[in-house]
Structure 1
Amino acid sequence: MTNYLPVPKPVEASGSEPEIFHGKKILVIDDDKTICVLICEYLGKLGMDCLWTSVPRTAVEWIQEKEFDVILTDIYMPEISGHDILSLALAQLPHTPVILMTGNPSLHNTIEAIRLGAYDYLTKPFKMNVVEMTLGRALHYRKLVMENLAYQNHLEIQVQERTRELSDFLFHAVQSLSLALEARDPYTQGHGYRVGELVVKLAGELGVAEEEHQALRLASQLHDIGKIGIPDSILLKPGKLTTTEYDLMKDHVFIGYHILSPIPSLKEVSRYVYEHHERMDGKGYPRGLAGSDIHVNSRILMVSEVYDALATERTYKPAWPLRKIRDYFLEQAGTAYDPDVVNALLSLLDKEGEEILKLFQGGFS
């Protein structure tokens, strides 16, 4: 026996805004075809685009393939229940309200519908103006949800644009600061830039996520920023430093860390700066960290920084040839430097070592 009331003509006194229905897509599911036809006939007069089926499996396919503004489904149907349809719809179309309907109302059904996430619950036999009001509320809810999502997406795009602008500004400001620092010592001009180029190449060889490359490049630009606090008499000394002078020089990692760490966007960068003079065997400074206690990006930075120091002329040494550099890192792998990072460097040098060396010794100043 078909359980419905005759279809009345839609009336504006139903409490819904007529325009809320126009062009909206609804899926109606009921194993009683007559109910589907009557509901869609009524909703068509409201301007809705109504798709119906009395076969739940067809509804499952449509929910997986199409977009709907609202779904109206019976609970008790062969093979697939309305609760199954609800669960699928919530997974596939999380912003589409689902209204359950049944001719066997009970407190248990009502509670279960709410628990499963149904927007509302209709009891047969129902008046069409009640259906209209319920659908009007559901469509208004969806309208608010979609407007909120659009607003959030707009805000996210704005935040991304501002973040990108700030990141670019920060990078260029850092670059200027690094260049100002390097201007104190003609032998280290271009050092931060060269280390940045190599550190990104090594990160690529080691499979470091691209989103971390910018922080590594910034750390390369800033790893010696603490030398701002080191006297020229020590920083520019052509000969070997005394023990006291060397201890003062080591303070540059503390100074750099304290300059950078209060800046939230440079928190990770400050860690790499702080650790770039540690050693794998725990004999480095400032904390004597060893092995995996040193961040992998710090380990990449230390190899890149030392490579540049060896490959370029300094006040205390001439530039080293490529073979001597390779021999040094092979000897120090596992003691001073991470063997994986050293292997990545050697692989890179095998592929483009002479080109890198030429650029380091003349092209990046």
Structure 2
Amino acid sequence: MKNLTQEQASILVVDDDEANRTLLESILGTGGYAVRVAASGEAALAAVAQQLPDLILLDILLPDIDGFEITRRLRADSRSSHVPIILVTLLEDRESRLKGLEAGANEFLSKPVDYTELLTRVKNQLKIKKFTDFLADHNRILEEQVRARTAELRQLLEQTVMAISLTLEKRDPYAAGHQQRVARLAAAIATEMGLSPQQVEGTHFGALLHNIGTVIVPTEILNRPSKLSDPQLAFIRAHPQAGFEILKDISFPWPVAQMALQHHERLDGSGYPQGLKGEQILPEARILAVADVLEAMIAHRPYRPALEMYTALDTLIQGRGIQFDPAVVDACLRVVKKSAK
């Protein structure tokens, strides 16, 4: 896997305005990135074909091919389909942004470009690409060898996922062991509910990776002992979508990316990031939501002490049928009762 340090990361800047190209190249140069430039859509496609960049900063209003069409073409090509694309534009309307997202863009930057915002968004997209490439490389290894060594490779996958999970938790000492504990509880609930072995295993793996998106959240926010500001809370609430972006192109045999995306959704639509309701939420994600909330409540956090198990269970019961799937809550109560014997 390519290690995307700033010194090694290659960025293609596409803009028909020479002043804009020079400005972006200068800012990115101060960040230690290797920058190439293109002044048109055709030149951009040729540059990508010649040497695949790690990230593309793409103007929408180009004279030959607009940024939307370039994005669609790059996403249709398997070679460039995973390269992060940040659209840089004067267009502020909702329709243009939706059109860009539908074409496959990852981010938007408004002109005139803010120095700090540009470097932060580039850094975050490269960080996500690094994790995506890492998981994709390991998954390709699994696919190549699975017929001959299925059991051994499943163990390797679990060890790899566990290593990633543990690495993430090193950033937040208060959450040490959280994903492993959630995985054990979620698998136990899935088993108690009578789910198939395949679904139980998928729930387990999804739980191990459910918080992978917290890689975009600064550690000072994760470990903050006081109330979060609105911008800090927005960072926290972005982690399910970030987790989905990291995992979505990995060919797991289970809906792991959707589990990461939906684990903060709630039955009544009060969750995030999509406000899904009821059956719109995957069964595995409904299980993960209960396991995640219970484990979080009984664990110490920098902003509050751990709750007693009976208090945490009472909270789940109060949310039964409102925020949480009643069948999942009931199965969780049975699992906890059995473990206490």
TM-score range relative to shorter protein: 0.5 to 0.7
Which structure 2 residues correspond to residues 65-214 of structure 1 after superposition, within 5 A? 159-214=146-201
Q: Does the 8 Å contact 1:280/1:336 carry over to 2? A: yes
Aligned counterpart, 2:312:
325
Q: Residues 223 and 159 (structure 1 numbering): CA distance in 2 closer, same or farther, change over 3 Å?
A: closer
Shift, 1:168, TM fit: 1.9
Cα deviation 1:114-142 (Å, max 9, x = unaligned): xxxxxxxxxxxxxxxxxxxxxxxxxxxxx
How far apart, CA to CA, are the structure 2 residues paired with 1:183 and 1:174? Answer: 14
RMSD, matched Cα = 1.6
Report the structure, 1 or 2, having the larger helix content: 1
**Structure 2 unaligned residues grouped into runs of 5+:** 1-144
SS in 1 for 2:268: coil
Partner of 2:80: none
Pick aligned residue for 1:296 from 276, 280, 283:
283
Q: Per-residue CA shift, 1:221-264, capped at 9, x if unaligned?
A: 11000111111121111112112211111111111111111111
Quote how far apart the aligned CAs of 1:352 are: 2.1
Alignment check: 8 A CA contact 1:203 1:300 kept: yes
Contact 1:260 1:267 in 2 (8 A): no
The whole-number CA distance in structure 2 between the counterparts of 1:305 and 1:285 is 14
- Pick one of 318, 338, 359 that aligns with 2:325: 338
Deviation at 1:159, TM superposition (A): 4.6
Task: Quote the Cα distance in structure 1 between the aligned partners of 2:250 and 2:211.
Answer: 17
Q: 1:319 to 1:164 in 2, by over 3 A?
A: same
- Of 325, 336, 340, the residue aligned with 1:349 is 336
- Of 308, 325, 329 in structure 1, the residue corresponding to residue 295 of structure 2 is 308
Aligned length: 197
Cα distance, 1:161–1:305 mapped onto 2, change above 3 Å: farther
In the alignment, the residues of structure 2 paired with residue 284 and residue 202 of structure 1 have an alpha-carbon distance, to the nearest angstrom, of: 21
- Percent identity over paired residues: 37
Unpaired runs of 5+ in structure 1?
A: 1-157, 356-365
- The one-letter amino acid of 2:259's match is Y
| 1:283 equivalenced with 2:274 (yes/no) | no
TM-score (norm 1): 0.52
Aligned to 2:243: 256
1: CA distance, partners of 2:159 / 2:331: 29
Find 2:227's aligned residue among 223, 237, 240. Answer: 240
- The correspondence for 1:229, drawn from 204, 210, 216, is 216
SS in 1 for 2:266: coil
AA of the residue aligned to 1:290: K
Counterparts of 1:255 and 1:266, CA distance in 2:
20
What is the Cα deviation at residue 267 of structure 1?
A: 5.7
Q: Which of 244, 248, 273 is matched with 2:260 structurally?
A: 273
